[in-house]
Amino acid sequence: MKRVISLLIVLAMTILAVAACGGGGDATTTAPITTDTTTAAATTAVTTKATEATTLATTVKTTAAPKVADIDPTGPVQGDKDPILHLDFEPENIEGNVIKNVVGGGLDATVTGNPEYMTSPTGGSAIRFGTTNVFDFLTIANDERLNFTTSDEFTVDFWYMLDKDASGWENLFSKGSQNNGWYGVWLGTNDSANQGVCWGGDTGNYKIGSIYSKYVWHHITVVHKNGALFMYLDGKLVNETSSKNYTSAGPMYIGGRNSSDAADIATAQFNGAIDDFKIYDYAFEVTAKSIHAADAGSFTYTDKDGKSITLPYRVYFPTDYKENTDKEYPVLFFLHGHGECGTDNAKQLQVFGANKLLDDIAEMDNCIILAPQTTCDGATNVTEWVASGSGTPGVHQWDSSAGGLHSRKGALEEITYTLGLQAAEALLVDFIEKNRVDENRIYIGGISMGGCGTWELIARRPDLFAAAVPVCGAGIVSSAKDLVNIDIWTFHGLTDPTVWPDGSKDMEAAIKAEGGTKIHATYFPGVGHSVWNNAYNAKNADGLTAAQWLLQQTKAD
């Protein structure tokens, strides 16, 4: 009911303030080299600078009535279940120094200090900290219901208002021991990257909003789903990251944060108000166009010899997929690198940070993305996308001690078809059969080990793919004659010691020698193995990025 009242109040406001969010810039990259005039790279280095904007033109007196930020109605959608914790700060739910959990079942908050109460943005009462010289905070005893692993879903949802600029790490709330698995929202002022209202813990800090938006009620929602965290400010997605493990023996604090393992010690006074504090043991529906909103699944494959493997995978559907029941969609099949091996079903969506190719495809919102994850096999040529064992136990051909991986020689049938790549192919075929896929627009891409897997899978199934974008991968030279009808844009750093540039150069030359005209290559002088950001930001002569170029390709051409 308070949320309904809140929305009515928000709609009735005639003067609204919105918190501004800052962003980081990309580093300047060396201009790439292309080997054909039709795809001459035009990488433009754009350096951006994080900026902050105040929401109020003049200083608002503490006696002025707080404003309420405009709420985007397209934000995350609450489910039917009640929260496990709800503090509404209404007088009828306060008994002495205890603020009762509205839904019952424990998780009540004990008051320390002399917090005040004020009119809330939801039409009731809110709690206000830091108005006197007495330190104010709330404590909720440790409870397993407030601990979340990477596989758990949860949502944190509350209103907050700042009274004054932060003077240190001031905490709106935190759960857990400071040095072990804690999480919360605080004001970060120690450096420009984290300056603002941040979500974080001992696993890192992620900016949500500006600390300069004083005397304005804002709404925060943090959703943990499918191995990812989505941070919303006033209904708008402002940041996201991969999931972390939020389990700790410490209590939950509101209005302060723990400075030690002692349950009765807190510091970092928050100067402001909080209302309608809720935690749910499920994830709100995430409506943003984000690769991290992709659904999760798993696929089990058994080969002809009875060996089995299960691949976790993520699948992103365009937002209109359910409604357009007669429409078929292109699909991008993405193979991660060796650094993203695992079973968390999350790392394959990133590559030491954001994966711009996947982010760009999701932002365009007109293509399915299917991204499986496999495990490291210790160079035994079993579960990884490609057979890369050097012959020395535990050493891959791409390891420095083995000299790095070069283009792959020998006949295709003589190269071990790993169980991992067999399973990946089977997953893609099964997915195509069960979903509305445009079979003239099936694409594949990958980086490093996944770039090698991309080259190998198009060699083994040239009938399946319309286009491929391998990055720092090594192809199988003998397969060139089978690849002349596939549109390929390959990328490589010219100083790559891990997968040597000949992994792409030899493939380009071999395909052209077979009469192929659809192979394009972009090389980056002075760039080593970590070339993916250069690749996905590069543009061809038509001004297209890899993502944009990919979606223009079709077998019908």
Q: Rounded to an integer, what distance in angstroms lies between the CA atom of residue 442 and that of residue 437?
A: 8
Residue 18: pLDDT band (50, 70, 90) is: very low
- Is the confidence at residue 433, as pLDDT, over 70? yes
Q: What number is the average pLDDT over the span 226-234?
A: 85
Alpha helix segments (H runs only) across 214-301? none
Say yes or no to pLDDT of 416 above 70.
yes
**3-class DSSP assignment, residue 413:** helix
Q: In this predicted structure, what is the pLDDT of residue 20?
A: 31
Whole-angstrom Cα distance, residue 323 to residue 61? 50
pLDDT at 64 over 60: no
pLDDT for 275 beyond 70: yes
Does residue 3 register a pLDDT over 80?
no
Q: Tell me if residue 337 falls in helix, strand or coil.
A: coil
**pLDDT higher than 60, residue 255:** yes
Q: What is the model's pLDDT at position 187?
A: 81
Q: Tell me if 254 sits within 8 A of 196, measured CB to CB.
A: no
Find the distance separating the first CA and the last CA of the chain, reported in whole Å.
Answer: 57
**pTM for this model (two decimals):** 0.67
For the cut 80, the answer to whether the pLDDT of residue 21 exceeds it is no
What per-residue confidence (pLDDT) applies to 193? 47
Nearest to 112 by CA among 289, 263, 246, 261: 263
Among 211-215, 360-364, 450-454, the least confident range: 211-215
Query: At which residue do the structure tokens 């292109």 appear?
Result: 330
For the stretch 506-530, pLDDT in tens is: 999 999 999 999 999 999 999 999 9
User: Where does the pLDDT of residue 269 fall: very low under 50, low under 70, confident under 90, or very high at 90 and above?
Assistant: confident
The amino acid occupying position 254 is I
Per DSSP, helices labelled H in 69-216 are none
Asked if the model's pLDDT at residue 11 lies above 50, the reply is no
Q: How far apart are CA 217 and CA 2, in angstroms?
A: 14
Q: Which residue has the higher pLDDT, 74 or 541?
A: 541
Q: How confident is the model at residue 178 (pLDDT cuts 50, 70, 90)?
A: low
Q: What is the percentage of the chain residues whose pLDDT exceeds 90?
A: 60
C-beta neighbour count of 192 within 10 angstroms: 13
The pair of structure tokens assigned to 69 is: 């930020």
Q: Which domains does the chain have, with CATH numbers?
A: 67-280 (2.60.120.200), 299-550 (3.40.50.1820)
pLDDT at 260: 53
Separation between Cα atoms, residue 377 and residue 381, nearest integer Å: 7
pLDDT at 81: 94
